[in-house]
Amino acid sequence: MSEELRGNGESTAFVPGHVTSFFAPYPDDDPERAGSRGAGLTLTDGVEVTVRAAEDDAPPVTLDGDPIAMPPVEAVLDGLGVADRARVVAESDLPLGTGFGVSGAMTLGTALAANDRFGRKRSANDLVTLAHRAEVEAGTGLGDVVAQARGGVPIRLDPGAPAHGRLDGVPATRRVEYVTFGDLSTAEVLAGDTDPLVAAGDAALTRLVDRPTLPTLVAESRRFARDAGLLTDRVREAVDAVVDAGGEASMVMLGETVFALDSGLTDAGFDAEVCRTCDAGAHVTG
Amino acid sequence: MSEELRGNGESTAFVPGHVTSFFAPYPDDDPERAGSRGAGLTLTDGVEVTVRAAEDDAPPVTLDGDPIAMPPVEAVLDGLGVADRARVVAESDLPLGTGFGVSGAMTLGTALAANDRFGRKRSANDLVTLAHRAEVEAGTGLGDVVAQARGGVPIRLDPGAPAHGRLDGVPATRRVEYVTFGDLSTAEVLAGDTDPLVAAGDAALTRLVDRPTLPTLVAESRRFARDAGLLTDRVREAVDAVVDAGGEASMVMLGETVFALDSGLTDAGFDAEVCRTCDAGAHVTG
């Protein structure tokens, strides 16, 4: 197989979804140092991104068949020097804008698949850095890309791209359920006063590091959502219903979305989507 | 599910096999700083480790049904405070002592499964560190554990456990074949003059970092094996046969084992085992 161009003319990458349990934003003038501390779950529900040669009559980027403008995806293609040569076709298990890191997944998946398709010879860390920078500069995410690159249940100890950030993880696997009621604007929340987020996020992280288990992660997420004032009525009611039924649930940061461990939402009577924590981080599939 | 003790009484972890393509040993008095630089492939063929409560009439550690003494496995159980309480049952796709990191896989798998089974509440990095220390102190491995924890095609930029080491990767997936002719003693090679290994390993790493692709990794492995004087006749003949047939192959460090990309060994007439690069690093499976 040529290093310059794969024989079948296209390359595909899978990137897991990522639900952030809690976070503390850390902006920085350098987008490779900017990011967030926090923790979350990567999911077997994710985004499959295929990159092939550009076609005159096809839109450059599609998500589930529809043309879409994604500035961080375009920035990644530009960074790899293939902006006018690539077509990006993304298929997602997850809704956009509801807290699953679909934007980060499309961006990182584009980096992995375009590098493979066009033989750009970048390392894994280089591609994660490129995608992280693009997300930060577009204002679409702070921590999803590095978490999605790792897989599992990532703990983001320090913010930033691989050269600066530091990751750990909760060593566990679990069934995960979720329901989505609507979207929330990450940009809007981050444009407000973020001091309460930083205080609540850092406190939650300290407690999770002291006891890195899934029940701690979910309990700290509930406390964070409450302390940071992010709960909507529908989310609060659903989380309470799961907890009342003996389960573990919290709000997804940032979406009007609730996630639960095991069959927590089903047990509380919700018609939930079902997946698992994802053992693998983002990767080329072929 | 209780954090203290899982309901079904046992926990299982999967750890991918790891073939080292080239390496430079970096000993250190501190086992968390000791290790190796280098690169390799993690494999979907690996080791499944189940940990359950000790039983009076059962051997504490078995591999494929046979009792086995594994000092690093015992060290990990001791480090988690469960040395007399745990029984370790390992099932391997791979032969021991032939360069696939089976010792590292058993050690890391025991750390992950015992932490889960006995609710020890350690983080992923803590468990990798515990397993890496145990392997270094037992003299059974220098870089397998951190590579197996990452998955994919790991590049070990700096040696040591997570707090000190630094990893990158080749962002690719591929079919991998292998044949094993016999075993080589890692301890014996490391007890000799390691200066040629360090020189050849560091040079190979510099070239791979400059061009992080699978063909480079295999070509650098061949050059390393030759420069470090590790080739046996049987290995040399098999590698040459694959290359003559147009394929990419090299020697596994350290075993009398040959690996090839795609169908390289099959195409050259060998009856090879077939697997793939492993997208996921070591993880609890249930």
Distance from CA of A119 to the nearest CA of B (A): 9
Cβ atoms of residues A63 and A106 within 8 Å: yes
pLDDT of A107 above 80: yes
**Cα of A267 to nearest chain B Cα, Å:** 15
Task: Give whole-number Cα distances, B141 to A201, B65, B127, B194, in Å.
Answer: 38, 23, 16, 15
pLDDT of residue A96: 87
Q: What's the CA angle centered on A144, arms A228 and B42, to 5 degrees?
A: 140
**Coil, helix or strand for A233?**
helix
DSSP three-state, residue B14: strand
The CA distance from B280 to the nearest CA of chain A, in Å, is 4
**Distance (Å) of CA B200 to CA B22, B25, B211, B220, B223:** 8, 11, 17, 9, 8
B67 token code pair: 């009792």
- CA–CA distance, A15 with A73 (Å, rounded to integer): 14
Q: What is the pLDDT of residues B201-221, one digit of tens each?
A: 999 999 999 999 999 999 999
Which residues neighbour B57 within 8 Å (Cβ) at sequence distance 6 or greater?
A: none
- Work out whether strand A273-276 and strand A175-182 pair parallel, antiparallel, or are unpaired: antiparallel
Residue pLDDT, tens place only, A234-265? 999 999 999 999 999 999 998 899 999 999 99
* B175 contacts on A by Cβ (under 8 Å): none
Average pLDDT, chain A: 94
Most A CBs within 10 Å: which of B173, B220, B276, as the mutation test of the A interface?
B173
Residues of chain A contacting B124 with CB distance shorter than 8 Å: 152, 168-171, 212
B151–A162 C-beta distance less than 8 A: no
C-alpha distances in angstroms, A113 versus A48, A86, A144, A189, B210?
Answer: 10, 10, 18, 31, 20
Cross-chain Cβ contact A124/B173 below 8 Å: no
Separation CA A61–CA A107 (nearest Å):
11
Q: Is residue B68 within 8 Å of B102, Cβ to Cβ?
A: no
| ipTM of this predicted structure | 0.95
Domains of chain A, earliest start first: 1-286 (3.30.230.10)
pLDDT(B7) > 60: no
Identify residues of A whose CB sits under 8 angstroms from chain B CBs. Answer: 1, 3, 112, 115-116, 119, 121-125, 127, 151-152, 155, 162, 168-173, 209, 211-213, 215, 262, 279-281, 283-286
d(CA B27, CA A28): 38
Which residue out of B5, B108, B123, B127 would a mutagenesis test of the A interface target, given it has the greatest number of A Cβ atoms within 10 Å?
Answer: B123
Q: What does the alpha-carbon distance between residue A40 and residue A33 come to, in Å, rounded to a whole number?
A: 20
Secondary element (H or E) of residue B62: strand B61-63
Cβ burial, residue A188 (10 Å; 0-12/13-18/19+)? exposed
Residue B111: half-sphere exposure toward Cβ, Cα within 13 Å: 31
DSSP letter at B173? -
Burial class (CB in 10 A: 0-12, 13-18, 19+), B38: buried
* Chain B residues with CB-CB distance to A280 below 8 A: 151, 279-281
pLDDT in tens, B230-262: 889 999 999 999 999 999 999 999 889 999 999
Task: Give the model confidence (pLDDT) of A64-95 as tens digits.
Answer: 999 999 999 999 999 999 999 999 999 999 98
Residues β-bridged to residue A90:
A49, A63
How many Cβ atoms sit within 10 Å of the Cβ of residue A256?
A: 22
Cβ contacts (< 8 Å) between B212 and chain A: which residues?
Answer: 121-124
| Substitution target from A263, A283, A285 for chain B, most B beta carbons within 10 A | A283
Average pLDDT of span A165-182: 96
Using a CB-CB cut-off of 8 Å, the residues of chain B touching A112 are 171
Q: Do B123 and A1 touch (CB under 8 A)?
A: no
pLDDT tens figures, B58-80: 999 999 999 999 999 999 999 99
Taking phi over 0 as left and psi of -120 to 50 as alpha, with beta for the rest, A262 belongs to left
- From B119, B171, B284, residue closest to A173, measured CB to CB: B284
First to last CA, chain B: 12
**Could you give the maximum distance between any two Cα atoms of chain B, in Å?**
57
Q: Do A212 and B281 touch (CB under 8 A)?
A: no
- Dihedral of CA atoms A128, A129, A131, A132 in degrees, nearest 10, equals 110
The DSSP line for B113-170 is HHHHHTT----HHHHHHHHHHHHHHHTS-SSHHHHHHH-SSEEEEE-SSTTT-EEEE-
Q: A216-231: per-residue pLDDT in tens? A: 999 999 999 999 888 8
Q: Which backbone phi and psi does A138 adopt, to 5 degrees? A: -85, -10
